[in-house]
């Protein structure tokens, strides 16, 4: 039996659960990193390459991998905070089986820059999108209502808008074939309200709304989601379930009801690509498909290297059987803008 990266991640996480101090941190980092590895560890061994070629794998972790791959142990069912996560290596194989999904994708609708908690400049992210052949990218730096994540208030949002306008002029002059959409990832409170003046939001191409507080609640928070969807400024609900690998399983809600309302309002729910989010998860995407919900893909990239994780969302959509036409990113820039504008008009 070949031991997958997903199984390795769970074995490392189980050891981290009972370890302490620096050893606990090292095992936890390695478990999380196993989701990001772009190739299977078992294939590395077959090629005669050292396991230390993999991210966050030192000699101690490498010895474990060698032992487990040689004699695969039983892997128990993952606990809720680690359940249902795919790996980047597996996602790449899924997408490779039908390259049209990557070829026909027109853009990425969530990413961050140094205007909030990203690590790269606007142009760096635009260059990364151009290298992937995108027609557009959406810059969704955080709004400033919370200490974490660090974000923008109205003056910074306006300054970023001017910078994006200048960058788009440069891209046109250089024949890049890519447009940067003015957007934001706005914090939403328990009543679905944002923390940016609606007048400032009216200047944007897209508003992505996300929860960043009270993410470990064990109560049913369906009404919180419905209020967010009914917010007239919000077009996309970002990383809806709010789960994070090994940290939290996500919020509890009546997803059938949420999908029903989202479909009726034509609002989009995100398929967040980050390997530690994968949100919406595949099981929920199947329900979204049945309800006819519009979906969007955002890598949530904080530097250009993370744009590659788009395959996580593409694979999830493929496995869940989502039609391409129900995903915003498979439409051209004009259609995306018109959809967002129609939502505002309806509101």
**pLDDT for 228-284, tens place per residue?**
999 999 999 999 999 999 999 999 999 999 999 999 999 999 999 999 999 999 999
Q: Which helix (H) or strand (E) holds 226?
A: helix 222-229
Regarding whether 65 and 11 lie in a shared domain, the answer is yes
Regarding whether 167 and 303 lie in a shared domain, the answer is yes
Domain C-terminal end among 76, 104, 126: 76
Regarding whether 270 and 137 lie in a shared domain, the answer is yes
Tens of pLDDT, residue by residue over 203-213, are 999 999 999 98
Q: Compute the average pLDDT of residues 145-158.
A: 85
Which residues is 256 bridged to in the sheet? none
> What is the rounded distance in angstroms from the CA atom of residue 18 to the CA atom of residue 20?
7
pLDDT of residue 145: 72
The CATH number of residue 72's host domain is 1.10.150.110
Reported confidence tier of residue 340, pLDDT bands at 50, 70, 90: very high
Structural domain boundaries, residue 64: 5-76
pLDDT of residue 346: 87
pLDDT of residue 1: 67
How far, rounded to the nearest angstrom, does the alpha carbon of residue 157 sit from its chain's CA centroid?
A: 22
Residues 6 or more apart whose Cβ sits within 8 Å of residue 275: 35, 36, 85, 86, 87, 88, 245, 309, 312
Q: Compute the average pLDDT of residues 13-35.
A: 96
Regarding whether 148 and 23 lie in a shared domain, the answer is no
Regarding whether 151 and 52 lie in a shared domain, the answer is no
> What is the rounded distance in angstroms from the CA atom of residue 115 to the CA atom of residue 321?
36
Tokens (6 digits) for 39: 């190739």
Question: Contact, 181 vs 141, CB < 8 A?
Answer: no
Alpha helices in 107-191 (DSSP H): 122-131, 154-173
- As for how many domains the chain has, the answer is 2
Three-state secondary structure call for residue 12: helix
Which residues is 237 bridged to in the sheet? 209, 269
Regarding whether 306 and 162 lie in a shared domain, the answer is yes
> What is the rounded distance in angstroms from the CA atom of residue 36 to the CA atom of residue 21?
24
CB atoms near residue 93 (< 10 Å): 14
Question: Contact, 78 vs 24, CB < 8 A?
Answer: no
Cα dihedral value 41, 47, 48, 49, nearest 10:
-50
| Residue 85 within any structural domain of the chain | no
> What is the rounded distance in angstroms from the CA atom of residue 35 to the CA atom of residue 245?
9
Q: Which one, of 242, 241, 239, 245, lies nearest residue 5 by Cα?
A: 245
The CATH number of residue 236's host domain is 3.20.20.140
Regarding whether 129 and 185 lie in a shared domain, the answer is yes
Regarding whether 289 and 177 lie in a shared domain, the answer is yes
Question: Contact, 186 vs 200, CB < 8 A?
Answer: no
Domain C-terminal end among 14, 45, 76: 76
């Amino acid at each position: 039996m070949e031991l997958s990266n997903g199984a390795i991640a769970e074995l490392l996480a189980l050891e981290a659960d009972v370890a302490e101090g620096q050893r606990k941190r090292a095992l936890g980092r390695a478990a999380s990193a196993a989701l990001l590895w772009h190739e299977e560890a078992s294939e590395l061994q077959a090629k005669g390459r050292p396991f230390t070629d993999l991210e966050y794998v030192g000699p101690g972790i490498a010895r474990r991998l060698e032992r487990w791959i040689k004699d695969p142990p039983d892997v128990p069912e993952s606990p809720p905070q680690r359940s249902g996560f795919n790996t980047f290596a597996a996602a790449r194989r899924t997408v490779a089986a039908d390259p049209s999904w990557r070829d026909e994708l027109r853009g990425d609708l969530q990413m961050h820059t140094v205007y909030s908690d990203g690590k790269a400049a606007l142009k760096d992210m635009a260059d990364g999108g151009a290298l992937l052949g995108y027609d557009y990218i959406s810059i969704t730096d955080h709004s400033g209502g919370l200490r974490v994540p660090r974000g923008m208030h109205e003056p910074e949002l306006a300054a970023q808008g001017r910078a994006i306008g200048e960058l788009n002029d440069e891209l046109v002059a250089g024949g890049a074939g890519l447009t940067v959409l003015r957007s934001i990832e706005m914090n939403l409170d328990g009543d679905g309200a944002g923390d940016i003046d609606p007048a400032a939001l009216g200047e944007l191409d897209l508003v992505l709304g996300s929860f960043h507080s009270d993410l470990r609640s064990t109560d049913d928070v369906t009404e919180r989601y419905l209020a967010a969807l009914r917010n007239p400024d919000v077009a996309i609900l970002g990383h809806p379930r709010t789960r994070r690998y090994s940290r939290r399983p996500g919020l509890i809600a009546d997803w059938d009801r949420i999908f029903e309302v989202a479909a009726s309002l034509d609002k989009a729910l995100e398929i967040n690509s980050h390997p530690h989010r994968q949100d919406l998860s595949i099981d929920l995407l199947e329900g979204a498909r049945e309800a006819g919900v519009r979906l969007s893909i955002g890598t949530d990239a904080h530097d250009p290297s993370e744009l590659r994780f788009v395959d996580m969302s593409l694979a999830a959509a493929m496995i869940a059987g989502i039609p391409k036409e129900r995903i915003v990113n498979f439409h051209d820039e004009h259609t995306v803008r018109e959809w967002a504008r129609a939502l505002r008009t309806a509101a």
